[in-house]
Copies of this chain bind each other. A is one copy, B any other.
Amino acid sequence: MAKKVSIKDIAAAAGVSATTVSIVLNGRAREMKISENMASKIEKLAEKMQYRPNHFAKGLRTGKTNTIGLIVDDISNYFFGHLAKVVEEEADKKGYTVMFCSSENNEGKSRNILNMLVDKHMDGYIIAPTTFMLPEVEKLIDEKRPTVLIDRYFPDLNSNFVTVDNFNGSLDAVNHLASKGIRKIALVTNDTDQIQMQQRIDGYLEGLKKNGLAFDKSLVKKIPFGWPEEKQVKELAQFFNRQRAGFDAVFFTSNNLGVAGLEAFSNLGINVPEQVSVICFDDNDLFRLGKPGITVVSQPIKQMAKKAVEVLVRQIEQSGTEPSNIVLATQMVERDSVLNKSTRNH
């Protein structure tokens, strides 16, 4: 059971003090006027003795962990899973590991998670914040801890964030539907008051207005966040069934709502796009490869993650930079879920 080698063991082996070893292994040999000979001797010894610095001791002195905390709603969600992957990749490139937690959009859990991460001294935080987290996030920023919000943000909080242009994305979607002669567009969204959802709804409203379409409250369905999928499907099936004649298209504001919606249509025997057109904010494998392909407003996930890590690491390594507010463009990806009605209408 080879005992862990410490800096002292190396010091003893090299016949010098721990200080010298520490200096050399932190690459400050030149700066601290340690002789070339001694430096390379120590480096070789460290290598040979398989020295690995003790993370706790180092952290205790320096406060650094080389770890960033990532908080998302749900790691198993297509969007967040892919986000997380790129965050991890990019972080790794810059020498950081990532600790992730799912908030499940749950008040208690959101808070606990953040406290836990702070206790564990993350060097920085990338957070898709739930609305409950406002006080905690505020505190984080007050305390000058490097933080980047992602996917959504708090309008009244001056923080780093990376989002997409939700408003124009939704507007594009409605314009697209309208351009195909569709006039009755239902909206399926969730009941969180997260800003990105609000913006998507606003985009929808603006789209209706711009295209001279009436807003019909009965065509808006809000699904409580966090419901299990089957429950969402049931609820949507009921809604669709009740409003059957009332709409020609449905705009879903998130990819998991879209999935539930498609399942509901399938259960009801409603065909897409023959009986109803569908468009969804955010993409996934099902939309891309399923039959029919679902037309979506796709988000540049990779870019979002990359930017977030970039901004965060910059902030970690040279604090005091101004908050970056990054808003990326979405992209409409036309597939087969929207039927052209304009021939009929015009």
Contacts and interface: CB of A to CB of B under 8 A. Distances in A.
A101 B76 contact: no
A82 B78 CA distance: 10
Nearest to A95: B116
A162 to B, nearest CB: 18
Nearest to A82: B76
A224 interface: no
B120 A101 contact: no
A291 B289 contact: no
Interface residues of A, number: 49
Interface string A165-195: 0000000000000000000000000000000
A115 B99 CA distance: 16
Interface string A251-288: 00000000100110010000000000000000011100
A322 interface: no
Contacts of A143: 1
Interface in A89-145: 89, 92, 97-102, 109, 115-121, 143
A286 B120 CA distance: 38
Given A59-B56, A60-B60, A75-B75, A100 B102 contact: no
A112 B214 CA distance: 58
Given A88-B100, A266-B291, A286-B286, 12 more contacts: A53-B119, A56-B56, A57-B60, A74-B85, A76-B82, A76-B84, A88-B102, A92-B109, A263-B289, A284-B285, A285-B286, A286-B290
Interface of A: 1, 52-57, 59-60, 65, 67, 74-78, 81-82, 84-85, 88-89, 92, 97-102, 109, 115-121, 143, 259, 262-263, 266, 284-286, 289-292
